[in-house]
């Protein structure tokens, strides 16, 4: 399942990139879907900002985002950093005292506001003290009309942004009139982007991952998470029952699982279950590789007397390919995973002991034997890499095919 968005560049009068307007899309077609503004804004925030971050979509430039009246009044924009975002007030919103107060409050919080498709109607004048940008559709008016409008509001220190600029001649004339920012087909059409979307139930999985990383397992909190999803609770118990830690009787509760498995092992299984469901069961090869790495790093950590709880080495191997599974860069996806700093550094920079464990298995996978042996000698000279790897492969296959 993918989330879609388009971005259209905004340039300054030297044709240097200034920012992007972010435009909600719901499919491959580069057009606005037939939904209301509230839904479009909400989905843009939840499907893109909360996962990827608008600052990344806008490549570090300012992100101009449309907001409807309801989303402004209820302060939806406050989930976004004011340093990275310009709030566009749609021209179609009904003017009210509530809207004016919301814009004033956002302005005082440091947000830059833009009046989108501004028609210079005097009814908008009360908003100008809180407005930084005026976006003018230059196809809607002729240049004489625009010039008169600008003269009327020239005492307001706003930045003029020309929309729908289509010719070089327009560009030059608009610069002379005081426009300093420009957007339109003369420069670039909206560019489609997409990324893997995390469904709402996957937020539960991310919370489970957080619990697996905690120093102490909070069973009350764990129960709250799994109880939200009956299928998830069932899978967790079934998964444990299929493991080697289920003794002579089936494990029917998380508490009983803790008794049989111990917290460290249970945390591993919670994280493993979460990852498998996060990937929707897709691409078994990457899931198997993640499991092999988890088991390999875990055994290596034991040989190096690395602390076993929380099971950081296991989690490092397990999440080493999570960026590929959800199709989001590692740095960005880690913002959604409550992992300890040591694991983050290992996953992004292969630093620290955990990073060395991961580098060793990566070199072994691609048959870089000299480098793998060098790392192994640094970590644990007694390590039998072939045996560790064989055991990890056999364990991973047994996890995915417990009855085979």
Provide the residue ranges of all domains of the chain, joining segments of one domain with +. Answer: 2-196, 215-400
Segment 191-241, tens digit of pLDDT: 655 545 544 455 566 677 777 667 777 777 776 676 555 555 555 555 555
Q: Is 1 a residue whose pLDDT tops 70?
A: no
Would you list the DSSP string of 132-197?
SEEEEETTTS-HHHHHHHHHHTTTS-PEEEEES--SHHHHHHHHHHT--EE-STTT-PPEEEEEEP
E strand segments, 227-369: none
Round to whole Å and give the CA distance between 291 and 317. 7
Is pLDDT of 399 > 50?
yes
Kindly report the CA angle at 252 between 250 and 255, in degrees rounded to 5?
115
pLDDT at 297 over 90: yes
Q: Hey, what are 78's tokens?
A: 């406050």
Residue-level pLDDT at 383: 81
The answer to whether 22 touches 64, Cβ cutoff 8 Å, is yes
Q: Residue 358: pLDDT above 70?
A: yes
pLDDT of residue 354: 94
Residue 28 pLDDT exceeds 50: no
The dihedral region occupied by 208, where left means phi > 0, alpha psi between -120 and 50, and beta the remainder, is alpha
Whole-number pLDDT of residue 278 = 60
Share of the chain above pLDDT 70, in %: 67
The two domains 2-196 and 215-400 share their CATH topology (first three levels equal): no
Q: Is residue 271 scored above 70 in pLDDT?
A: yes
**283 pLDDT more than 70:** no
Other Cβ atoms less than 10 A from the Cβ of 312: the count is 24
Instruction: Give 130's DSSP letter.
Output: G
Under the banding of pLDDT at 50, 70 and 90, the label for residue 12 is: very high
| Average per-residue pLDDT for the chain | 76
In the chain, % helix, strand, coil (3-state, to 5) comes to 55, 15, 35
Residue 36 has pLDDT above 90, yes or no: no
pLDDT of residue 47: 42
Q: How far apart are alpha carbons 236 and 252 in whole angstroms?
A: 10
For residue 46, what is the DSSP state? I
More confident residue, 296 or 274: 296
**Given a cut of 60, is residue 42 above it in pLDDT?**
no
What are the beta bridge partners of residue 194?
4
pLDDT at 32: 40
Q: What is the rounded distance in angstroms from the CA atom of residue 67 to the CA atom of residue 102? A: 12
Q: What is the spatial distance between Cα 8 and Cα 135, in angstroms, rounded to a whole number?
A: 14
Q: What is the pTM of this model?
A: 0.49
Q: What is the pLDDT of residue 187?
A: 81
The pLDDT of residue 261 is 63
2-196 CATH: 3.20.20.450
Token code pair at residue 353: 């002991």
Higher-pLDDT residue of 272, 244: 272
Asked if CATH classification 1.10.3210.10 holds for the domain at 215-400, the reply, yes or no, is yes
> What is the average pLDDT across 118-145?
90
**pLDDT tens-digit profile of 364-394?**
999 888 898 899 888 888 788 889 999 988 8
Predicted local distance difference test score (pLDDT) of residue 39: 46
Model confidence at 288, in pLDDT bands (50, 70, 90)? confident
Spatial distance between the Cα atoms of 43 and 37, rounded to a whole number of angstroms: 10
- Report the C-alpha gap between 363 and 230 in whole angstroms: 40
- Tell me how far apart the terminal alpha carbons of the chain are, to the nearest angstrom: 31
């Amino acid at each position: 399942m993918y989330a879609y968005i388009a971005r259209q560049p905004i340039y300054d009068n030297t044709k240097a990139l200034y920012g992007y307007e972010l435009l909600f899309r719901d499919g491959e077609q580069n057009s606005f879907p037939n939904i209301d503004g509230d839904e479009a804004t909400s989905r843009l925030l939840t499907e893109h900002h909360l996962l990827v971050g608008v600052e990344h979509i806008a490549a570090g430039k300012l992100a101009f985002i449309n907001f409807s009246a309801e989303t402004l009044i209820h302060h939806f924009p406050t989930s976004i950093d004011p340093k990275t975002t310009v709030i566009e007030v749609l021209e179609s919103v009904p003017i009210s005292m509530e809207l004016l107060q919301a814009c004033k409050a956002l302005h005082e919080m440091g947000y830059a506001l833009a009046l989108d498709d501004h028609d210079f109607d005097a009814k908008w004048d009360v908003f100008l003290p809180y407005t930084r940008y005026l976006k003018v559709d230059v196809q809607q008016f002729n240049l004489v009309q625009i010039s008169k409008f600008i003269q009327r509001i020239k005492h307001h220190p706003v930045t003029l942004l020309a929309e729908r600029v289509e010719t070089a001649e327009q560009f030059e004339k608009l610069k002379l009139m005081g426009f300093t920012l420009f957007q339109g087909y003369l420069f670039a059409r909206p560019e489609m982007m997409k990324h893997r979307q995390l469904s709402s139930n996957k937020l539960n999985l991310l919370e489970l991952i957080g619990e697996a990383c905690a120093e102490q397992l909070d069973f009350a909190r764990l129960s709250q998470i799994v109880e939200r999803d009956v299928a998830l609770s069932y899978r967790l118990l079934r998964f444990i029952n299929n493991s080697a830690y289920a003794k002579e009787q089936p494990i029917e509760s998380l508490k009983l699982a803790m008794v049989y498995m111990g917290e460290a092992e249970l945390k591993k299984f919670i994280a493993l279950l979460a990852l498998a469901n996060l990937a929707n069961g897709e691409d078994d090869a990457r899931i198997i590789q993640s499991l092999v790495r988890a088991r390999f790093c875990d055994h290596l950590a034991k040989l190096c007397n690395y602390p076993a709880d929380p099971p950081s080495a296991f989690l490092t191997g397990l999440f080493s390919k999570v960026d590929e599974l959800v199709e989001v860069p590692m740095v960005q996806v880690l913002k959604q995973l409550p992992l300890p700093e040591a694991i983050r550094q290992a996953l992004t920079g292969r630093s620290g002991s955990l990073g060395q464990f991961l580098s060793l298995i990566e070199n072994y996978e691609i048959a870089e034997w000299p480098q793998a042996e060098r790392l192994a000698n640094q970590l644990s000279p007694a390590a039998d890499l072939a045996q560790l790897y064989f055991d990890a492969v056999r364990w991973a296959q047994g996890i995915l095919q417990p009855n085979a």
